[in-house]
Amino acid sequence: MKRTHLIISGRVQGVGFRYFCMEQAEGLGLTGYARNQTDGTVEVEAQGAEDKLEEFIRALHEGPRLAQITEIQREDRPAVSRETEFEVR
């Protein structure tokens, strides 16, 4: 079980990016969250099997149709046991 923290930059607010994250995460069996930040980025924490996390991050590089991803910053973090789903905050 792995956990990663992501900051996604570009045109990622107002284009359905957080819900895209949730759809991708649920399909891969990941838990965590996605939320907008005041600086225009989206913060994501996701947890699950390492191969599923890598697949998730590849999908985020593409994003939904109207998004334009310019950068994804990644920091691995310790796994947590209290989550049961992926949510949009």
Which residue numbers are catalytic? 18, 36
Sign of CA dihedral 82, 84, 85, 87: negative
Q: How far apart are CA 54 and CA 46, in angstroms?
A: 10
Between strands 86-88 and 68-77, the pairing is unpaired
Q: What amino acid is encoded at 42 in this protein?
A: V
